[in-house]
């Protein structure tokens, strides 16, 4: 009988399968990027750099894969020895955020993140509701505020901070939501507008001509790489049925296509779109 590696309690052997899937998708994405014409690569890099000039307060703590291997930090992204936790920017160290256990003995260990509190010598597992699923069985720690070289994690009401210097020292990096959404554009099925909908406009302005209000997952949004502030130029496909569940041929599936601008993040830097982290 074939073993299921779906969500929930996961049987032994699923971790290796997950890591192979992640590597294949990452390799495919990188190969697609290498195939782009040099002038387009330069254009995307330039527009991304310009757009990232604004420092947003919200984003994700991600591995720097030029320095670490996926297998060392998967599947809740965190360094093997964790992050030191502070009660305020430049405040007192109060514990550690870390995974516990060894995947060779506990197949669930890579999927669990704990806050180990120094004063009480206790540990509490971090709920998945406080993490962001960004890929198939892959989660990242989100941050919600940046201040004096520290980032606040686990929600705005928490007093849990991590040092940006330690994040960098442990081969991780900060990625604001806008940069993350742009970099992942070719590695997801597509983006979809948050409820109650997202306006597609002719130019990057709230006063520009409204082309369409995008609602639901039949409007697939693909950034082109061109950014202006919080706005992204996108291509939109309106499907008759969602590709994951449709029996229609590809040329029959698309109802129409549009191109325009959306405000891909809020003024606070939070995403205005979502995506299927597990794909189909």
**Domains of the chain, start order:** 57-176 (no CATH), 188-274 (2.30.30)
The stretches of the chain forming alpha helices (DSSP H) are 14-34, 38-51, 70-73, 164-169, 177-183, 250-253
pTM above 0.85, yes or no: no
Instruction: Give the lowest-confidence range in 18-27, 186-195, 232-241.
Output: 18-27
pLDDT above 60: residue 3: no
pLDDT above 50: residue 219: yes
Q: Are 55 and 146 in contact (CB under 8 A)?
A: yes
Task: For residues 245 and 217, give the distance between their C-alpha atoms in angstroms, rounded to a whole number.
Answer: 12
Confidence of residue 71 (pLDDT cuts 50, 70, 90): confident
Residue in the block written with tokens 């996926």: 70
Q: Mean pLDDT over all residues of the chain?
A: 83
Task: For residues 33 and 28, give the distance between their C-alpha atoms in angstroms, rounded to a whole number.
Answer: 9
Q: Are 273 and 266 in contact (CB under 8 A)?
A: no
């Amino acid at each position: 009988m074939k073993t299921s590696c779906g969500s929930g309690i996961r049987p032994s052997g699923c971790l290796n399968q997950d890591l192979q899937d992640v590597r294949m998708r990452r390799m495919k994405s990188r190969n697609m990027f290498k195939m782009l014409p040099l002038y387009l690569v330069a254009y995307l890099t330039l527009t991304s750099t310009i757009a990232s000039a604004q420092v947003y307060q919200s984003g994700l703590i991600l591995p720097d894969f030029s320095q670490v291997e996926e297998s060392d930090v998967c599947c809740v992204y965190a360094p093997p020895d964790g992050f030191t936790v502070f009660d305020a920017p430049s405040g007192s160290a109060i514990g550690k955020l870390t995974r516990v256990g060894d995947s060779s003995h506990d197949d669930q260990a890579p999927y669990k993140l704990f806050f180990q509190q120094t004063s009480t010598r206790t540990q509490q597992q971090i709920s998945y509701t406080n993490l962001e699923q960004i890929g198939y069985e892959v989660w990242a720690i989100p941050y919600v505020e940046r201040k004096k070289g520290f980032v606040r994690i686990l929600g705005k009401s928490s007093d849990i901070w991590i040092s940006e210097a330690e994040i960098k020292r442990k081969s991780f990096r900060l990625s604001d939501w806008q940069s993350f959404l742009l970099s992942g554009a070719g590695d997801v099925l597509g983006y979809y507008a948050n409820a109650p909908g997202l306006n597609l406009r002719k130019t990057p302005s709230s006063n520009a001509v409204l082309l369409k209000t995008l609602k639901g997952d039949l409007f697939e949004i693909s950034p082109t790489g061109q950014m202006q502030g919080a706005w992204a130029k996108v291509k939109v496909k309106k499907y008759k049925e969602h590709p994951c569940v449709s029996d229609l041929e590809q040329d029959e599936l698309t109802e129409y296509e549009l191109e325009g601008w959306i405000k891909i993040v809020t003024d606070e830097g939070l995403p205005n779109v979502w995506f299927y982290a597990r794909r189909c």
